[in-house]
Amino acid sequence: MTLASDTWAELLEGDGAHVWHPYAQAADPGYIAPVVAASGVRLQLADGRELIDGMASWWCAIHGYNHPVMNRAVTAQLETMSHVMFGGITHPPAVKLAKMLADLTPASLDRVFFSDSGSVAVEVAMKMAIQYWQAIGRQSKQKMVALRSGYHGDTLATMSVCDPVTGMHHLFGEVLNKQFFAPAPQSPFDGPCPESDMAEISDILAQHHNEIAAVIVEPVVQGAGGMRFYSPDYLRKLRALCDAFDVLLIFDEIATGFGRTGKLFALEHADVEPDLLCLGKSLTGGYMTLAATLANKRVSEGIDSGDAGAFMHGPTFMANPLACATAIASIELLLSQPWQRTVQRIHDELATGLAPARDLPQVADVRTLGAIGVIELREAVNMREVQPMFVERGIWIRPFGKLVYTMPPLVMNSDDVATVTAGMIDVVSRL
């Protein structure tokens, strides 16, 4: 029996018996959609219905699904070498991809450490920051400063730098490292950043810089911690503060990298260079699980000079050749198109399509940036109620908390964007 011929009921029965879904109860995960195929921007359900995917599979499938160029890249690499360990070995896809990433990101970031998920890329950056200070004899610098409303992953180390309220600190409090938290920037994306936005983080750095290894932020867009957009000016001021207090700066572009905000990387809005940069999600166009942490020479040469003599991390699937080959294909595919124009077109369509939501009493805010469209409600949605409503409308949208948002694949055409925004408004208006 092929997967595609499984019926809706069979799939859900099997799923209910053994599968544990994300952010869900094991035995009662709520509404689950059985998807048996995906092509273009459409997910095919087990009963034959199709959904237009407004989520790009948690923001990573920028080219949509079943793309012939991406498929060819996977199969070509599959016939050459699917996996090989990376300890003491290198291979063409890793070498080529590392060079591409070093060339596309700010010039100072010239060393690439591959891993297999965004959370691990952030953990690697945190470990590099701590090991850097150790290597140069400043062992006291081990803490991070993170922002409220920030999100950096679900592992124990990355949870410690997620927003302490919306994150999972209350569940894992004693195990998580205690970090410093500064307020989320209040300045809007298109405005300047007032000194008031910098006051508290400046105080933290002034008082505790001897304990602080790095500041970690998601540049310009705070994603899973609240879908907030803020002024690039904040990043320029933050860079100056980090320099003044001798603290490293980590940018987490796992959600924003590869075009989502209208720039290839969100840091380009500010023209600021971090010491460490984390990439994931769209790096492979959502085809394979791959992430990367890029470091500048200060960090890599600093760690090299230490007593440990090496950076101590090495995932089994590091630089997986299939994943690297798909990343190369994905980046080449993106850059071969007028992608900035596409993101601008999607942005304008999202802004127009979602604008009517402003008149709804249940809506607190509507905002758009790049290919991101957000409706913020006054109250959190009930997922069990809301998820099937989107499916009935023929679209796949997965809200969280008060946020009903879309980050569509960057290949979505105007008609499909209009269907997504109309469906979002329709569902929100019925809540």
**CA neighbor of 278 nearest in space, from 220, 226, 216:** 216
Characterize the bridge pairing of strands 143-147 and 180-182: parallel
Residue 214: exposure state from Cβ atoms within 10 A (0-12, 13-18, ≥19): buried
> Which position's Cβ is nearest ligand PMP?
118
**CA neighbor of 425 nearest in space, from 409, 405, 398:** 405
Query: Whose Cβ is closer to ligand PMP: residue 209's or residue 402's?
Result: 402
Find out whether 259 and 266 touch, Cβ atoms under 8 Å: no
| Residue 315 marked in a binding site | yes
**CA neighbor of 364 nearest in space, from 226, 179, 183:** 226
CA dist 29 to 72, 270, 326, 403, Å? Answer: 36, 41, 32, 20
Of the residues 135, 147, 220, 255, which one makes contact with ligand PMP according to CB under 6 A = 255
Q: Could you tell me if residue 233 is left (phi over 0), alpha (psi between -120 and 50 degrees) or otherwise beta?
A: alpha
Please report whether residue 124 would count as binding ligand PMP according to CB under 6 A: no
Query: Whose Cβ is closer to ligand PMP: residue 151's or residue 181's?
Result: 151
Applying CB under 6 A, which part among 61-69, 116-124, 199-207, 410-418 lies near ligand PMP? 116-124
Of the residues 132, 151, 265, 287, which one makes contact with ligand PMP according to CB under 6 A = 151
Applying CB under 6 A, which part among 84-92, 204-212, 247-255, 335-343 lies near ligand PMP? 247-255
**What residues numbered 205-234 form the site for ligand PMP, per CB under 6 A?**
218, 223-224
Contacts 24+ apart (CB under 8 A), 208-212: 208/143, 208/180, 209/141, 209/245, 209/246, 209/247, 210/138, 210/140, 210/141, 211/140, 211/141, 211/142, 211/143, 212/141, 212/143, 212/144, 212/145, 212/180, 212/245, 212/247
| Residue 155 marked in a binding site | no
Minimum CB separation of residue 165 from ligand PMP in Å reads 17
Would residue 307 show up in a list of annotated catalytic residues for this protein? Answer: no
Helix (H) or strand (E) holding 426, with range, is helix 414-429
Please report whether residue 163 would count as binding ligand PMP according to CB under 6 A: no
Would residue 151 show up in a list of annotated catalytic residues for this protein? Answer: yes
| Residue 430 marked in a binding site | no
Query: Whose Cβ is closer to ligand PMP: residue 185's or residue 353's?
Result: 185
Minimum CB separation of residue 224 from ligand PMP in Å reads 5
Find out whether 116 and 289 touch, Cβ atoms under 8 Å: yes
* Count of residues interacting with ligand PMP (CB under 6 A): 14
| Residue 402 marked in a binding site | no
Distance, in Å, from the CA atom of 28 to the CA atom of 24, rounded to the nearest integer, reads 7
Minimum CB separation of residue 355 from ligand PMP in Å reads 26
Minimum CB separation of residue 340 from ligand PMP in Å reads 22
Check 281, 287, 402, 405 and give the catalytic one.
281
Interacting residues of 17 by C-beta distance below 8 A, sequence separation 6+: none
One symbol per residue from 271 to 300: x for binding ligand PMP (CB under 6 A), - otherwise; what is it? ---------x--------------------
| Residue 118 marked in a binding site | yes
Of the residues 123, 197, 233, 252, which one makes contact with ligand PMP according to CB under 6 A = 252
Would residue 23 show up in a list of annotated catalytic residues for this protein? Answer: yes
| Residue 119 marked in a binding site | yes
Sites of contact with ligand PMP (CB under 6 A): 117-119, 122, 151-153, 218, 223-224, 252, 254-255, 280
List, by residue number, the catalytic residues.
23, 151, 252, 281
Query: From the annotation, which residues make up the binding site?
Result: 58, 118-119, 151, 252, 281, 314-316, 398
